[in-house]
Structures are given as C-alpha cells and as structure tokens.
Amino acid sequence: MGSQTVEHLIEASSGVHFTGFHLEKTDPSSSAVEPPSTSAAENINPPFVIGVAGGAASGKTTVCDMIIEQLRDQRVVLVNQDSFYHNLTVEELKKVHEYNFDHPDAFDTEKLLSIMEKLKHGKAVDVPKYDFKSYKNDVFPTRKVNPSDVIILEGILIFHDPRVRDYMNMKIFVDTDSDVRLARRIRRDTVEKGRDIGMVLDQYSKFVKPAFDDFILPTKKYADIIIPRGGDNHVAIDLIVQHIRTKLGQHDLCKIYANLYVIQSTFQIRGMHTLIRDAQTTKHDFVFYADRLIRLVVEHGLGHLPFTEKQVITPTGSVYSGVDFCKRLCGVSVIRSGESMENALRACCKGIKIGKILIHREGDNGQQLIYEKLPNDISDRHVLLLDPILGTGNSAVQAISLLIEKGVPECNIIFLNLISAPQGVHVVCKRFPRLKIVTSEIEIGLNKDYRVIPGMGEFGDRYFGTDDD
C-alpha cells in the first residue's frame, strides 16, 4: 500500500470497523487467559442511543442539530420518527384532515424497532422518507444510514412504546410552553406548508393539543433530562454533550478498574489505528503513524504525574498562575518493542533517563528475566513503563514486579501501551491496583495462540523492519 493520509483513509472507509469502544464480556474475577469465543461483530460496542421527545414545534430538531454539531468528531446519525408514518389508505386519504397524525397508531413502530435492532448490531439500514403531500413513504428513495457511535432518535412519541425506550441510553424531553409551540406551528404550517391559518388552528384544537395531553406529556416521566426552552437552553445542551463524550470515551473495563485510562478516540486516532493495523501498510507508514499514536499516549501518561503550582511573569509583565512538571521521573522500556516508544518520551521530556528490561518468553505463559539496566536512584522516581502491546499480561507483571523489587512504589508506575487485551488488563490491574495503565484502544481479546486480536501483528518486527523475508 502506498502512502496514504489519515483523512483519505477516513473518507474511503464506510464499513464497520473496530474502535476503542468495545464491550468486553470477560469475567473480571478470572485472570485466566482464554481465547475469545464470540465473533468480531458481537464484540463491537453498541451505539449510544439518545431519544429526544417533546410536543410538536417544541424545538426537538434544534436540540438535535446542536448536539450533532458539538459531536462533530464522532459518527452521529439522526433517525426521525416522522419517517415511520403509515401509508394512508384510499379511504383515509379522502378524509385526510380527519386523520390524527399525533396518535401512536399513526406510526409503524414495528418498522422502527426493526431499524433500531439492525443499527444496534452494526448493520447499515435503509430508512424511508415520508412524503407529507402524498402521505406515503414509498415516493422518495430511502435514506441509507450506516452504523454509528451515536444515534439520535427524535419524535413526538418515541417514549410511548417501552420497546423503543429500551434501546435508549439517554432520554431527553424538550419542554416548551404551549403558547410558544402553537405560535411556531402556525408560522411553520402557514409559511412553509402554505396552509390556511383557520385549518391549522382547527387541527391543533381537534388533534394536536388532545394528543399532547393524552400521549406525549405523560411520557415526560420517562425522561432522564428535561430541557426547558429547547434550543435556547445552551447550558443544558452543553452539559448533555459533555456527558455523552464521557460515556463514549469510557470503556467498560474503565468502570471496573479506576486505574485504567483509555484516551478519547477521534477520527484521527481511528484513522491512524486503521493504518497501523493494515497488513499491507508499508514500514515507512507504519512507523510514521505508530510514532504519532505513541506520542499521544506518552502525552496522556505525563498528564497523570503529580505537579506543583507555579506563578511566572509573562513578557507583558503579567502574572500567570500555572503548574510545574514533575522533576523526578524516568522511562523503562521492555526490550525490544518498548524501545519504539523511547523517542516520543525523549521528545516530551528533555534529558530523561531511560532504563531497559529484557524478558524472555518460555512456552505459552512462562516468563524469564534475562537482562535489566535501571537508574540507580529509580526508587526515588516516577516510572513510565513502555511496551506497545499488553497481551496476556505476563511480561508486564514480570517487569512491574522487578520495579517494585527495586523500591519503586506501585503508585509511582504508569504503564504506557498502544493496545491492550482485556485479559492482560485484568491480570495487571488486579495484581497492581495502584498502578496506572494508559492505552489508546482496548482490543477484542486473545486468540488460541495468545495473540492479540484484531491486533497489529508483531509490533517490533513491523516497526524495526525485521519481518522482511
């Protein structure tokens, strides 16, 4: 494969691919290394589904647009309940003005459930487009919706059916004054749809208001968040987006182990992971994008070191209140893959001392310490342990145990790696609960040969170019 930019790769990729948001089913009480028994598709993290309900003209669409805008670095799709209106029969078309579009029976909920089930399992779907002139959903071509990290389901009655509610991770009710909603509806229907104001008011009093009181308002009790004033409430929307980002960036294992940190994934990070995982990527590209990812992990790891407050005088003569970096630290690389992370550490920490540990694999699980060269005063330092792959966790346990034997407090060790298998995370975090692990992605697991999957192959061979025939 020739040289490709991350941006080009992202644009070219439209299928399902693995991210740092896998849901793992590993039993945290077991440290045994077992190959995964589920398929790749079953391990893809389900999307984060947000339901946005409220009365007609309450500002639901504005709220959805604002959430989508602030989550622009995530894959977000909008599914509108209006797409699932039933086709009107010939008899219903003759009396269309007597048809209640705000009643639960007006929607094809079974079709909506089918669409949501497919999206939940990472499948692309075709969403119908409802034509409000012919009152049919087969006039326009369907809209293809690809699997996404976030799905926003919007509609007046999406909280009415408990089966639809069960798909939602967050339920938002947009609560707007009835007079404001009526004024917006009059303006929308008369200007945009060319309807007579008398007809609009008649429909409102006959169908819209009763349906709101009978079916929509009662579903407000199911909401996790109620937004007064809709899109005008910027504070509420900012808090919602912040909560969504936290949920998206938090792997399930982070909920089990408070000492595990997975850096927040973005399209750039996904794109770089896609490149270094591709078996056809050239050595030059592999090293380039691996170095970029390593630098991100190192920077994130440094953010977990202690600091002291410090004030400085700026060139303008002003006082700036900041922080001072931790001075007593060193790096320790696990030979040889860990040596690929040394340059990034040196680039971030000028003149940092770096030690070496060589561990030899014996059989499937045995580990033997072959060589170690560490700073004499390592017990007085914070240690950044470098190894790009955390697989079974056996080598990591051996290296960490050595550091502790040398007098390094467990809480002073930060283990930095690019990818981590759940099995290795369980082993290390249970054995050393005060140590911190910083990684960029959690993998599916290990195969029968104890190799990380989907993984990226033998990292050292690919990085140092020793896998050529």
Give pLDDT, residue 32: 41
Give pLDDT, residue 43: 40
Give pLDDT, residue 306: 87
Give pLDDT, residue 145: 92
- Tell me the β-bridge partners of 359: 369
pLDDT-based confidence at 28, cuts 50/70/90?
A: very low
Report pLDDT digits (tens) over 173-191.
999 999 999 998 898 888 8
With a cut of 80, say whether residue 24 has pLDDT above it. no
Report pLDDT digits (tens) over 407-458.
999 999 999 999 999 999 999 999 999 999 999 999 989 998 889 999 998 9
Beta strands in 269-381 (DSSP E): 308-313, 319-324, 329-335, 353-362, 366-373
Q: What whole-number distance in Å separates Cα of residue 361 and Cα of residue 366?
A: 6
Helices of type H across 51-89: 60-70
With a cut of 70, say whether residue 33 has pLDDT above it. no
Among 395, 265, 423, residue whose Cα is nearest residue 338: 395
Contacts of 390 (CB under 8 A, 6+ apart): 396, 415, 417, 419, 420, 421, 424, 425, 428, 437, 439
Neighbours of 57 (CB within 10 A): 22
Helices 422-431 and 394-405, packing angle to 10 deg: 20
**Token pair of 404 as six digits:** 């502790």
Per the prediction, the chain carries an average pLDDT of 85
Contacts of 349 (CB under 8 A, 6+ apart): 302, 329, 331
DSSP secondary structure, 429-465, as one string: HHH-TTSEEEESEE-SEE-TTS-EES--S-HHHHHHT
Q: Is 334 helix (H, G, I), strand (E, B) or coil?
A: strand
Determine contact, residues 347/389, Cβ cutoff 8 Å.
no
How buried is 69 (Cβ within 10 angstroms: 0-12 exposed, 13-18 middle, 19+ buried)?
exposed
Determine contact, residues 135/93, Cβ cutoff 8 Å.
yes
Report pLDDT digits (tens) over 231-247.
788 898 988 988 887 77
Given its phi and psi angles, is residue 108 left (phi above 0), alpha (psi -120 to 50 degrees) or beta? beta
With a cut of 80, say whether residue 398 has pLDDT above it. yes
> First and final CA of the chain: distance in angstroms?
18
Report pLDDT digits (tens) over 103-149.
999 999 999 999 999 998 889 999 999 988 888 888 888 999 988 88
Report pLDDT digits (tens) over 339-366.
999 999 999 998 899 999 998 865 555 5
